Structures are given as C-alpha cells and as structure tokens.
Chain A
Amino acid sequence: MVRRIVIVGGGSAGWLTAGLIAADHQGSSLHITLIESPDIAPIGVGEGTWPSMRDTLRRIGVSESDFFRECDASFKQGSRFNRWANGTDNDYYFHPFVLPQGHGEVNLPEQWQAQHPGIPFADLVSYQPHLCVNGRAPKQVVTPEFSSVANYGYHLDAGKFGVFLRKHCLEKLGVHYVPDNVVGISSHDNGDIAALHTQSHGALEGDLFIDCTGMQSLLLGKHYAVPFLSQKHVLYNDSALAVQIPYPDDNHPIASQTSSTAQSAGWIWDIGLPTRRGVGHVYSSAHIGDEQAEAELRRYIVDTGGPRDIPSPRKLSFNPGYRERFWHRNCVAIGLSAGFIEPLEASALALAEMSAAMVSDELPATRAAMDIVAARFNEAFTYRWERVIDFLKLHYVLSQRRDSDYWRDNTAAVPDRLNDLLTLWRHRAPSRNDFNRIEEVFPWASYQYVLYGMGFRSEFMNPQPRQAALADGYFREAAELTHKMLGGLPDNRTLIHHIKRHGLQKI
C-alpha cells in the first residue's frame, strides 16, 4: 500500500504539492513528509500565476485574504506584449485571461478581419485589455474570496509564498517537516527508492518520493539519470537578470498584467506587486553578453519611470528543456526538477499545479498501480511540455522583427506540429479541433489572442457572411461590458488595501 509520501524540496512546487495532497486526503492514513534543505534558498522567480492558482489555493484550503496579506500578492489579468510584432513604439497587444465574448459560438477572427480590421483583436472581443489599460482590479470589495468579475491569477512574492504555504501545511494539514539535507539514497532490489538519508534526522522511508529539488533534480535527474531533453535549439533563452525596484511613491498604481517587452536578444518582464516591481531580462547568451543585457535592462527601467540607481541584478542561468520521463519507478518530479523553459507566459507554476493535482487525484493505492499511473502521467506531461514549447515558439516565429540575429534566427527551428498548425491557420482560425484534450495547457483562445495579436492574418477561404450579425452582437456585448466594468471596478491598489485591512467575504 502507498501510505508514506516523502517530498524533497520546499520551494513553491514542494509546498504546493504537499498542500494539495494533504488537503485532498485529510482524514486518511496518508503520512506526508517534506524535507527542506536549510542551506539551499528557493530560486524565487516565477512571480506570475495563471487563474488556475485560485482553484489550487481554494483546494488547499487557505484564505485568499490571508494570501494577499502574507504574500505581497496582486491581481494578474493576463499579459501585455510590447515590441514583439515589429518593434515599433506603438507595437503592443494583450493576451487576457478572459475568453473572447462569443468564443466558440461564432468565428470571431473572421468577422473581426472583415468588420473591424483596424482594432486590435483582443481589444474588440474582450473587455479585459481595457481593464488592464485603466489599471482596474478584476473584482469588487463585495466579490467573495476566489470569485471574480473578470478572470484573474496572481502576481506574488515567491519567497513569501513558500513560507505562507509551509505555515498552512504544518499548522492545518498535518504535513511533517524535516529541515535537513539529503546526503544519501538507499534502494530496494527492484530499483525503487527505499529511503532518503539525512544529516541529522536519519533515514526517511517512503512509498512514493516526490522530487521538488529544483534544477538540481536530485532524485529524477541525479539519482535515476533520466535524460534531459534540451530545447535550446528551439527556444534560445538561457539566462536572466532579475532585479526588484521600488515605486516612486506609496500610492503608485499597480499594473493589472505582466508586461513583456521585447529586446534585441530576449525580452524584459515587468511585474507589479503592492510594494515593488519585479523586473528582469531573459535572453539568449549565444546572442548577447551579460553586460549588454544589463544595459538594456537599465535602459528599460529608466524608460518606464524607474530609478537610475538600481541594485546589482541577480543572474540566473538555465538550460531550457524537460525530462524524458517525470515519473520513474516510485519517484515523480514536480516543478523545475521536471523541466523549465523560460518565464514567457508563466507556465512553470501552472505545470507544477497540474502535476501535483494529477498525483493527488491518481494517487496509486499499490505499487502495481503505480506503474500504470506513472505511464499515464508521463504521457500527459510530455504532451503538455510539447504544447508549452509550441505556444512559446509561436510568439517568436510570428515576429516580423529582423533587427538582430536573435529575431532572424528565431524564424527557424519550428517544431513540426507547430508548423502544421501555422499551415492550417493560414486559411482558418485556431479552433477547438487543434487542441482537443480535456485539459489543455493553453486554451485555443490563447492561440487566437497571440496569433492575431502578433499581426498574423488568416485568408478565410469559405467566408460565412451570415455570421456577421451574430459576431456584431458579441462585439457590442464586449463594448458594453467594458463600459459597465470600468464604471464599477476599483483600481488594484484600492482593492488590495481593502483586502489587507478588512479581508474579502467568504460568500
């Protein structure tokens, strides 16, 4: 019987996994232990989440008000891409979290191109870009915890998030905590892990071991030597310079979205938390040196109203890619130990949430069941990583920028499946038939937002003029909702201040 679960690593992935499994199986005889090295600091990037995090937090059983108070969290309603399509000053588009009005009911891209080619696609079909431009929050003070008026995820302080989850796991969910270093691994004859040896807590035996050790991938990578599938030939970014900068004053507006601004050999993220901005340059070390990358970062900060004097940026290096398998024998990797691409579209935490949820949902009762679950898990997540790579590459391959080798090189090395999709999309919009799994990583609406946001136009072969009136109704609906919401939604800082002071209601 699988009764003892040992999680190694206490970053966001480790505590999310511990919290989800413990909350789902409360009252069972499951025994969950988390080993966290007191010497290794969590990598602490990954400050953006998807809307899925609302479900995850609710499922773990924390209060959203406490989450805002303790994690320096703010609302994220999507992404804004600057200078990605052609690099000019007025080049930007939104990828909002809300699905287009009328999505799935009518061919919106076709009618957009026919009726309103001059309006950006997302601005026409969704109210959310307008909420973002106006700095509005996605809910009101009377909206209950985890409910939304406009779909949202979060920006958060990853370091504080880990501490917040740990407290909940230990105080409310009965997770056992071992602050120690793993110094050895002992195995059963069949190759399963039997126990992890620690410096001062002895051997910890388990039935299932979850590797949340980050990029070192202690169990899956180092112990089992499961091959790493590098994706550097497709997605070139392998370095990042991250820095935190203060607001000019305490009442400075908090942005509603993650901004991503393309540079000569990468892009800069800009995330607004209540107390600071987190800004970083992610780039390809084959195309640009650290010094030039830092110069571009500093220029961006000054251009966006930040200080000239900034602390020395923190350098991170990574090899983009993922493991050939994620669940091997009685060990499954969740988080950076399973893989990491780059922070574009913030898929890292989302994949960790999906992994933890699947482990918890499918928790094998016996060792015999485990191999079957492992095979399914590996199939599901190989598919998901491939879709992440396709979707990220989509952003690069559609760019018309040719002002540096980086952008010129990026038109190459397009994965076959993405190439096929682009061939289809030349004459029709991304559709549900392109992404037909029950749980896709990115909904097909996201492909429409990015495809048409990047300036791509489909030549629709069989136009359906009868849909014009129907689509027009949805375009009007989006405009009316925009008007209504701008009248009723507070700005981010006002709402966050209210939450910190009074909390949100549970119902």
Chain B
Amino acid sequence: MPNIVLLNNVDHKDLRVITRHGAQFGDRQMWATTFPAEFRDVQACYPIVFRKTTDGLGFEPVALFGFQEEENLFLDGQRWDAPYVPLMIERQPFLIGVNGSELMVHIDADSPRVSRDEGEPVFLPLGGNSEFLERASSMLLSIHQGLQATPALLSALLQHELLESFVLDVELNDGSQNRLVGFYTINEDKLAALDADAVAALHRAGHLHSIYMVLASLSNFRMLIDRKNAAHA
C-alpha cells in the first residue's frame, strides 16, 4: 500500500529519489495511464488503447507495455528501452494532491525509489527545491492539466459510439497462444461513416487529432509482438 504524504523540506530534507528503472522499483507494469497532450510522444513508441476504470464510471487511455499483468516488454534490467517514457511512469514516486484550489506535491514515502543515500536529492542543503524537484513538479503539473482533457475526449468517443472492445490473439514464434482482452479501441468503420458535421465538431474540439494519434499508435503492436518473441527466445 502506498503511503502518501505531503512533501516538505523538514521531514524530507535528506530525501533522495532513485531514478533508474527496474522491476524492484515497481516498473513491471503492463500499462500506464496517458492523456491527449502526451499522445504524440506516446504513439511513437507504444500502442494507445482504452480501459475501463474499475469504478465503472468511464474509460481512460493507456500506453500498453505488455500482453499480460506485470509484463513490461520495455524493461531491460535497469533500462527502459524506449526513447520516450510516459509521464505517469516518470513521475514516480511523486503525486499531485489538491488542497482547496492549491496543487501540492506529494510523495509515496514507502516507494522503493525513496532513499537516504542514493539517487537525486529532492531538497538543497538549505531547504530550497532542487532542480530535480522542480522538474518533477512541472511534470506533475503537465499530468494534472493533461488529465483534465480526457473526459471530454471520452465523452465524444462514446457519444459517437467510436469505442469498441477488441481481442488480440497473438501466436508467438514458439507456437504459444497469447490473448489480449479487456481493452477498447477506436472503431474505424464508425469513424469513416461520421457525417461532416460530426467530424467538424470533433476537429474543433481537438479530438480528431487525438483519435488519429491513437489509430497511428496501433502499428506499435507489431513491435510489441517482436519484443514478446524476443523475450521468449
């Protein structure tokens, strides 16, 4: 269980954060939440698909790293083998918390990334913010703002019935069968059949851009399968 506390330069004055990757730091994740402002970078490396949030209230876009729980095909020892790492991964162990209208940086104090003797210092010797912390908080702000755009995109997708569930059956070189289920993608037939008014409305709201980024991202499935085959070899 994460232990989330407000970050402050008294309790956390000696705190350091380990920035390298690894299974021991919780990087063995199958997916990470993403958001429209990040789609351009994410689609260059990962398939973007949608999943249901467990509260049953909606959907969220995610960058996919593997085909089953706890499988991250981009994790190579201490290295994350991709030119871009999604911000929801990069931000670890920091989180944003809202206090009234104020955004505050929080930290998971029990995260394996948190250390006293290794990694990047969070505060300067006299208590000022380190450059590392400044970068982290600007990242948190990008995430916070980016996530605000997700509900409008999803409601447009649902309104035009553009989301559909899909099943991906993958046969690996060794003959083993793998099935990816539980995710959703854009229904291209329905997208192609939209009338001009609907397309214009999606375009004006900026959603058309996101939709095509998602579609383009699907070619990364081929690369993901290659990685899976390599991992099995």
Interfacial residues, chain A to chain B (CB-CB below 8 A): 140-142, 498, 502, 504-507
A502, B56: Cβ atoms closer than 8 Å: yes
Q: In the complex the two chains form, what is the Cα distance from A142 to B53 in whole Å?
A: 8
List the B side residues contacting A504 at CB < 8 Å.
56
List the B side residues contacting A142 at CB < 8 Å.
52-54, 56
- B163 near A: Cβ within 8 Å? yes
Q: List 15 A-B contacts (CB under 8 A).
A: A141-B54, A141-B57, A142-B52, A142-B53, A142-B54, A142-B56, A498-B56, A502-B57, A505-B52, A505-B58, A506-B158, A507-B163, A507-B164, A507-B165, A507-B184
List the B side residues contacting A506 at CB < 8 Å.
158, 161
- Which size bracket describes the interface of B in this complex? 10 to 19
Q: In the complex the two chains form, what is the Cα distance from A140 to B58 in whole Å?
A: 13
- A249 CB, nearest partner CB in chain B, Å: 25
Chain B stretch 138-175: residues in CB contact (< 8 A) with chain A: 158, 161, 163-165
In the complex, per-residue mask of B55-66: 1 if CB is within 8 Å of any chain A CB, else 0: 111100000000
List the A side residues contacting B158 at CB < 8 Å.
506
- B178 CB, nearest partner CB in chain A, Å: 21
List the A side residues contacting B56 at CB < 8 Å.
140-142, 498, 502, 504-505
- B165 CB, nearest partner CB in chain A, Å: 6
Q: In the complex the two chains form, what is the Cα distance from A506 to B52 in whole Å?
A: 12
Q: In the complex the two chains form, what is the Cα distance from A505 to B50 in whole Å?
A: 14
Which of B56, B164, B165 has the largest number of chain A CB atoms within 10 A?
A: B56
- Which residue of A has the minimal Cβ distance to B50? A507
List the A side residues contacting B161 at CB < 8 Å.
506
Q: A142-B52, A502-B56, A506-B161 are in contact. List 9 more A-B contacts (CB 8 A).
A: A141-B54, A141-B56, A141-B57, A498-B56, A505-B52, A506-B158, A507-B163, A507-B164, A507-B165
- Which residue of A has the minimal Cβ distance to B52? A142
B55, A141: Cβ atoms closer than 8 Å: yes
- Which residue of A has the minimal Cβ distance to B55? A141
List the A side residues contacting B163 at CB < 8 Å.
507
List the A side residues contacting B57 at CB < 8 Å.
141, 502
- Which residue of B has the minimal Cβ distance to A144? B165
Q: In the complex the two chains form, what is the Cα distance from A251 to B53 in whole Å?
A: 26
Q: In the complex the two chains form, what is the Cα distance from A270 to B86 in whole Å?
A: 54
Q: In the complex the two chains form, what is the Cα distance from A141 to B52 in whole Å?
A: 10
Q: In the complex the two chains form, what is the Cα distance from A505 to B54 in whole Å?
A: 12
Q: In the complex the two chains form, what is the Cα distance from A502 to B58 in whole Å?
A: 10
- B61 CB, nearest partner CB in chain A, Å: 15
Which of B57, B163, B164 has the largest number of chain A CB atoms within 10 A?
A: B57
- A289 CB, nearest partner CB in chain B, Å: 51
- Which residue of B has the minimal Cβ distance to A141? B56
- B33 CB, nearest partner CB in chain A, Å: 16
- List 9 A-B pairs, minimum CB-CB distance, nearest first: A141-B56, A142-B52, A142-B56, A502-B57, A507-B163, A507-B165, A498-B56, A507-B164, A142-B54
Q: In the complex the two chains form, what is the Cα distance from A498 to B57 in whole Å?
A: 9
- A273 CB, nearest partner CB in chain B, Å: 22
- B138 CB, nearest partner CB in chain A, Å: 34
List the A side residues contacting B184 at CB < 8 Å.
507
- A63 CB, nearest partner CB in chain B, Å: 13
- B57 CB, nearest partner CB in chain A, Å: 6
In the complex, per-residue mask of B180-192: 1 if CB is within 8 Å of any chain A CB, else 0: 0000100000000
Q: In the complex the two chains form, what is the Cα distance from A141 to B54 in whole Å?
A: 8
List the B side residues contacting A140 at CB < 8 Å.
56
- B52 CB, nearest partner CB in chain A, Å: 4
Q: In the complex the two chains form, what is the Cα distance from A498 to B53 in whole Å?
A: 14
Q: In the complex the two chains form, what is the Cα distance from A442 to B216 in whole Å?
A: 49
In the complex, per-residue mask of B104-137: 1 if CB is within 8 Å of any chain A CB, else 0: 0000000000000000000000000000000000
Q: In the complex the two chains form, what is the Cα distance from A142 to B55 in whole Å?
A: 7
Q: In the complex the two chains form, what is the Cα distance from A71 to B147 in whole Å?
A: 37
- Which residue of A has the minimal Cβ distance to B58? A505
Q: In the complex the two chains form, what is the Cα distance from A153 to B55 in whole Å?
A: 24
- A277 CB, nearest partner CB in chain B, Å: 27
List the A side residues contacting B58 at CB < 8 Å.
505
- A115 CB, nearest partner CB in chain B, Å: 32
In the complex, per-residue mask of B21-62: 1 if CB is within 8 Å of any chain A CB, else 0: 000000000000000000000000000000011111110000
List the B side residues contacting A498 at CB < 8 Å.
56
- Which residue of B has the minimal Cβ distance to A499? B56
List the A side residues contacting B54 at CB < 8 Å.
141-142
Q: In the complex the two chains form, what is the Cα distance from A140 to B53 in whole Å?
A: 12
Q: In the complex the two chains form, what is the Cα distance from A505 to B53 in whole Å?
A: 11
Q: In the complex the two chains form, what is the Cα distance from A498 to B54 in whole Å?
A: 13
- A398 CB, nearest partner CB in chain B, Å: 42
- B166 CB, nearest partner CB in chain A, Å: 11
List the A side residues contacting B52 at CB < 8 Å.
142, 505
- B31 CB, nearest partner CB in chain A, Å: 16
- B62 CB, nearest partner CB in chain A, Å: 15
- A224 CB, nearest partner CB in chain B, Å: 46
- Which residue of A has the minimal Cβ distance to B165? A507
Q: In the complex the two chains form, what is the Cα distance from A504 to B164 in whole Å?
A: 15
Q: In the complex the two chains form, what is the Cα distance from A504 to B52 in whole Å?
A: 12
Q: In the complex the two chains form, what is the Cα distance from A265 to B58 in whole Å?
A: 51
List the A side residues contacting B165 at CB < 8 Å.
507
- B82 CB, nearest partner CB in chain A, Å: 29
Q: In the complex the two chains form, what is the Cα distance from A502 to B215 in whole Å?
A: 29
- B184 CB, nearest partner CB in chain A, Å: 7
Q: In the complex the two chains form, what is the Cα distance from A432 to B57 in whole Å?
A: 42
Q: In the complex the two chains form, what is the Cα distance from A502 to B52 in whole Å?
A: 14
List the A side residues contacting B164 at CB < 8 Å.
507
Q: In the complex the two chains form, what is the Cα distance from A142 to B52 in whole Å?
A: 7
Q: In the complex the two chains form, what is the Cα distance from A506 to B162 in whole Å?
A: 12
Q: In the complex the two chains form, what is the Cα distance from A142 to B56 in whole Å?
A: 4
- Which residue of B has the minimal Cβ distance to A490? B56
Q: In the complex the two chains form, what is the Cα distance from A506 to B184 in whole Å?
A: 12
Q: In the complex the two chains form, what is the Cα distance from A140 to B164 in whole Å?
A: 19
Q: In the complex the two chains form, what is the Cα distance from A498 to B184 in whole Å?
A: 22
Q: In the complex the two chains form, what is the Cα distance from A506 to B56 in whole Å?
A: 11
List the B side residues contacting A141 at CB < 8 Å.
54-57
